[in-house]
């Protein structure tokens, strides 16, 4: 704003500020509506600390777009597992999808959190400072045992190894490293969808619902505070009663019978 008007923002009139905010909101290259809101909050704070009136900075109602999460099919998950050449990367995909983990939760897995006897993973102090348990696949257990026997991690299951994956200050596998691994594997598997780490978590919840798991259980497994966060997956899961077969299938079936 200072560069735009070539003066300090505190020297601007309320009308100039409103005009600038309107222009900012209309720009197609504005990063997001959240960015716009923080701009308004920042201006309010600036004027307040300078002892100037800021009541004219009204935050407009911003409609949040109703978008549905993109989901991978089970075949695409299998392709990713097959495309991962390193056991470490195969386990990354397996845990993100098979346990519905957030990126931070994956990186925070310590050896003591793995309960192979009960086939459970203890997720400690995740989002909202909450713990939860999620089931561990027997396939993951076998893979993790092979991986730890070969790499001998000291504390965290996944430890950083340097570029291009990166390593955090405490030795954990970096967020950038996890993201890079998932993107690389998806590209190698020739998946056309823009795959990211969180998409595997979305897919986990959707596939559970498609398998008949009740939504309250899915909420607990996902670590959602509100059931509304889980209910979005009801709009993308495909069950026989929600999505019947296309009538075109029956046309082909009838034609084949007549032949």
Residue 154 designated active-site: no
Residue 224 designated active-site: yes
CATH number at residue 181: 1.10.443.10
Domain match, 42 and 78 both = no
Residue 127 designated active-site: yes
Domain match, 41 and 85 both = no
Which pLDDT score, from 0 to 100, does residue 40 have?
Answer: 82
8 A C-beta contact, residue 128 and residue 223:
yes
Which pLDDT score, from 0 to 100, does residue 62 have?
Answer: 54
Domain match, 230 and 112 both = yes
What's the token pair of residue 37? 């809101």
Cis before 164? omega within 30: yes
Which pLDDT score, from 0 to 100, does residue 28 have?
Answer: 55
Domain match, 6 and 95 both = no
8 A C-beta contact, residue 191 and residue 72:
yes
In a domain, 176, yes or no: yes
Residue from 209, 223, 238 nearest 100 by CA: 223
Q: Lowest-pLDDT range, 46-50, 95-99, 109-113?
A: 46-50
Domain match, 38 and 143 both = no
CA torsion sign, 162 to 163 to 168 to 173?
negative
What average pLDDT score do residues 109-129 get? 92
Catalytic residue among 127, 130, 235, 250: 127
Say how many domains are in the chain. 2
Catalytic residue among 44, 102, 132, 167: 102
Catalytic residue among 89, 107, 201, 207: 201
In a domain, 79, yes or no: yes
In a domain, 245, yes or no: no
Residue 90 designated active-site: no
User: What digits encode the pLDDT tens for the residues 125-170?
Assistant: 888 788 999 999 999 999 999 999 999 999 999 987 654 445 555 6
Domain match, 91 and 211 both = yes
Residue 102 designated active-site: yes
Beta-carbon contacts of 224 under 8 Å, excluding residues fewer than 6 positions away, are: 230
User: What digits encode the pLDDT tens for the residues 172-199?
Assistant: 899 999 999 999 999 999 999 999 999 9
Which structural domain, as residue segments, surrounds residue 110? 74-235
Which pLDDT score, from 0 to 100, does residue 164 have?
Answer: 46
């Amino acid at each position: 704003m200072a560069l735009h008007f070539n003066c300090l923002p505190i020297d601007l009139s309320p009308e100039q500020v409103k005009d600038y905010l309107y222009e900012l909101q209309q720009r197609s290259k504005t990063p997001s509506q959240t960015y716009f809101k923080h701009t308004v909050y920042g201006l309010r704070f600036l004027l307040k600390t300078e002892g100037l009136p800021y009541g004219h900075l009204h935050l407009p109602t911003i409609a949040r777009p109703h978008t549905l999460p993109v989901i991978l099919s089970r075949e695409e998950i299998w392709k990713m597992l097959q495309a991962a050449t390193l056991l470490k990367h195969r386990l990354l995909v397996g845990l993100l999808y098979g346990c519905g983990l957030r990126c931070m939760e994956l990186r925070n897995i310590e050896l003591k959190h793995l309960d192979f006897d009960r086939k459970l993973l203890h997720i400690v102090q995740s989002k909202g400072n909450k713990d939860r348990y999620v089931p561990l696949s027997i396939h993951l257990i076998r893979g993790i045992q092979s991986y730890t026997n070969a790499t001998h991690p000291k504390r965290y299951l996944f430890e950083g190894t340097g570029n291009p994956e990166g390593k955090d200050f405490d030795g954990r596998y970096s967020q950038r490293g996890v993201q890079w691994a998932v993107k690389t594997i998806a590209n190698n598997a020739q998946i056309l969808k823009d795959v990211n780490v969180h998409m595997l978590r979305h897919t986990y919840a959707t596939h559970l619902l498609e398998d008949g798991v009740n939504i309250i259980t899915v909420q607990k497994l996902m670590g959602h505070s509100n059931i509304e966060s889980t209910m979005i997956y009801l709009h993308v899961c495909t069950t026989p009663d929600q999505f019947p077969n296309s009538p075109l299938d029956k046309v082909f079936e009838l034609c084949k019978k007549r032949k």
